Structure 1
Amino acid sequence: MKKIFKFMLLPALVLPLLFTSCDDDRDSNPTLDLSHLSEGFVLNTPALAENNTYDLKSAKSLKLTCSQPNYGGIPYVVRYYVQVSIDPKFVSDPTATHTELATSYKTAEMEVNASEVNDAVVALFQAANPDTSVPEEMPIYIRLRAVLEITADSNLGETYSNVITLPSVKAAYEAPDAKFTDNLFLIGDGIQTSWESWKAIPQVYGLTGNYYGVIYMQAGGEFEWGTENNDYRGYNRLKEINDEAGAGITEGDEHKIKVANAGWYTLYFKGKITEDKKNIDWALTIYPTQVYLLGACMNQTCDPWVFDEAYALKAPADKNGKWESPAFLASAELRAAVKVGTLDWYTTEFTIYNGNLFWRRYNIVKSWAETEGEAYSVTTTVGQKLYIDFDNNTAEVK
């Protein structure tokens, strides 16, 4: 039966990472000899590692010992750095992904901070497996990098040990509870400045974790999304994708979201916090973009208001043009919204503030003027129209 050792909680059962003692017997030749660097030095797998589980979260430290590198027989001061990987290729491929711990050691017997190892293992796993919980147990791979400290050259005498395998290790990450951000962000081909601008898209009013945004994509264009700037997420970070617009969505290069057919698209992201409250599962639905005027400016008196094709804005040919509304039929407060699936119009309503689209965030009982203030209320004039640049989220009435 496999035993699990928790170093902090069960001191009597402490099972350190035990290696053979350091080989300190050297001859008296005082000449520095760097000809043996390629030979490396020995790091031994602990005898009990094969049938036991090491609990990094509970341990205070891990004891590592090694043979001192051969620098010609003189016991020079050597600094050792611990390198950790979860990739089995690290055993034979030094370029495989790994992390070097921040703390270094000056003796061949090292009390390595177990918390540092734990955090390195968790970070490596999360980077390789986004939105996936760290498994109960996993193998990890460790080696040492050694350098001499007799000169200012930090790489003098650099040499590496062999890689050892610990077949069963427990690492844990106490992540904060997942929460939704105020906006999501889009980046990609033709979105503002291609692959430079992060375009913010708002939450659906009244529906936490639901977001929507309008973009134009050229045929074959690609984009990514994120919960903040520089948070590059793609096709593989979505649990579900529904293409209701005939956009032809596929996975592109490096997991980007690829759009086969050119057009205006409304992206509707819906997030659901997982049962453990540590992650969010995301679904994306793509709709053809539809935008409408509503309310008194179009003599619409019914309650509730509805999307009416007679009051739909006309789409431009591409992102460089502006959406154009029908002429206003009355002098009243501007009310307009993006149609997103079956969502109610008021959940995706917007106005104009300082020349920019401003998305509804509060319950508007009577008017934008009453709820947000006069600066957020636009009065229409008969014969005028609404013009929108959805690429830059700017608008005007004229």
Structure 2
Amino acid sequence: MKRIFLPAGGAILATGLLAAGLSGTAQAARDIASDPMARNAGDAASIATFWWKSNGAALRQASAYYWDSKEVKKLVSKGGYTPDGNPGMVAPTGNSTSTGKAQNVNIPRTIGKVFFLDASGRPRWCSATSIQGNYKNLVATAGHCVYDTDGNADTMSKWVFVPGYYQGKTPWGIYVGKQAFTHYDFDVYEDYDRDYAFVTVYNGIRFTGVKQVDGRDYDRFVGPKFGGRYILLSEDAGRLGDNVGGQGLAYNQPTGKIVRTFGYPYAPHPDGSKPYTGVTPKNCYGKTSAKTVGAPDKKIEEHVALKCPVTPGYDGGPWLLNYSNAKRLGYVNGVTSTFNDQDGNDRVDYISSPYFDGETAAVYNAAKNTASGKIVGPNGELLK
């Protein structure tokens, strides 16, 4: 597939027609790669049905997407990092609040799992979050949870986001990916310094049951049908951001700041111990490393690290700066990319994230300005 490269404003540039005076815009365009996922509402409805059918069997059968846990390695200090511009922040949205003086960490409503089929066709999942966008339709996760690095192909197939997912339950509906935005260097070169992605999703779809109808209504129905003149009923669940809110974005921030991270750890440690089930989200809290770190096997030179003993499955989960436990909102300042064993005891003790800079913001800006649309019409019909 030929990818479309976008400038930060979102307009498509025709390569080969760029004048010399547009060289700066061309450079901006080269930073951003955009890949289509579900091309229309009909495709999106089919994908959502795949995950929901048989009472969410595919969702429940999915396993965490991760590499061999023996590949966990040690990060190497690379010195400090110089931001490529002024610090910036995009405010979060949402109205989820809690009262009282809670001692426990309140899990954000924005947190959930992204589900997809890997290169072998197996159902897998990563962690992710809803993030603020102009159309309230945006998900932030790791690039390797969107782009198929194993198969060296395009985006993962049948990609959906389920906020608040719990053992087959989809409390706010299923949100099918429409368009993936990644950094060109990750999409083409698999450079893990750019291991982040922003994905626009269609309005959520909620399946409300199965109904037997007469022959005429069965023939006219647009949507999943079954033998015996049964049809699958559905409704529009609305926009992602309207339902669960959206975290903010922070970039070009100093390292050494406190963040709270969230995700669904699942895989075993390198020594084989498996303390996590992947069923419920976990969190870590602490200061990011004051120095950037690297891992040559993944072309990493500018990651930030956090002491956090979680395991894969946590991939793609957000690193939230200035997290408010009362509002359950903060600013995405990273996403979990790698898992590392710094003390050599065969257990993960550090995770790392790409440093979010101005190029990250450019990818985000292209995604946040992109609309998606609905899957279900006003009368419950599936749109084509």
Q: Which has the higher helix share?
A: 2
Question: TM-score normalized by structure 1?
Answer: 0.20
Q: RCO higher in 1 or 2 (8 Å CA, sep ≥ 6)?
A: 2
Which one has the largest radius of gyration? 1
